[in-house]
Amino acid sequence: MIKTPLPTKENLEQKWYVVDAADQRLGRLATEIAMILRGKNKPSFTPHMDTGDFVIVVNAEKVVVTGRKNSQKLYRRHSGRPGGMKVETFDQLQARIPERIVEKAVKGMLPKNALGRKLFTKLKVYTGSEHPHQAQKPEVLDINTIPVGGK
């Protein structure tokens, strides 16, 4: 019986990618980022291993949603105390902490286990076009979530 070889840390190459989120659709951008973090775009993908790459997202404050989601999409968090639920809209959270919008969207698309938590640490989100990861020599990854006839 021939066994399929598993990727190891020695023969697994993890790259760094920079994604510009300016004028990108939130959900479609998040699915592409989640696939790269998970490693599903590689032939060496293994479901129970971390075979993915690092992703740096810049211009997180310029991500867009369609329709009336600006005022209707809600983000909830709870302090753990009775009556400690805090609710805010997409616009409010984007004005306060724009990085969190992209982080929550991607985190929801990763596995809900120890592997998912490990993969989430490989996502770096920043407002503005600057990031402190120049030493890793990240490649620019062009993700186009804007439809051809859309705005």
Asked if pLDDT for residue 147 goes beyond 80, the answer is: no
Domain ranges for the chain: 16-64+98-140
Buried/exposed 105-140: b ≥16 CB within 10 Å, e otherwise:
bbbebbeeeeebeebeebbbbbeeeeeeeeebebee
pTM: 0.92
Residue 24 near residue 106, CB atoms below 8 Å: no
In tens, the pLDDT along 35-55 reads: 999 999 999 899 999 999 999
Measured between alpha carbons, how far is 30 from 53 in angstroms, rounded to an integer? 14
The percentage of residues in the chain with a pLDDT greater than 70, rounded to a whole number, is 97
In tens, the pLDDT along 77-117 reads: 999 999 999 999 999 999 999 999 999 999 999 999 999 99
Asked if pLDDT for residue 14 goes beyond 80, the answer is: yes
Q: Is the dihedral of CA 123, 108, 32, 45 positive or negative?
A: positive
**Averaged confidence pLDDT in the chain:** 94
Tokens representing residue 96 in the block: 């306060």
Name which of 112, 119, 98 is nearest 37 in CA terms.
Answer: 119
Residue 33 near residue 107, CB atoms below 8 Å: no
At residue 5 the predicted structure's pLDDT band, cuts being 50, 70 and 90, is confident
What's the fold here for domain 16-64+98-140?
A: Ribosomal Protein L13p; Chain: A; (3.90.1180)
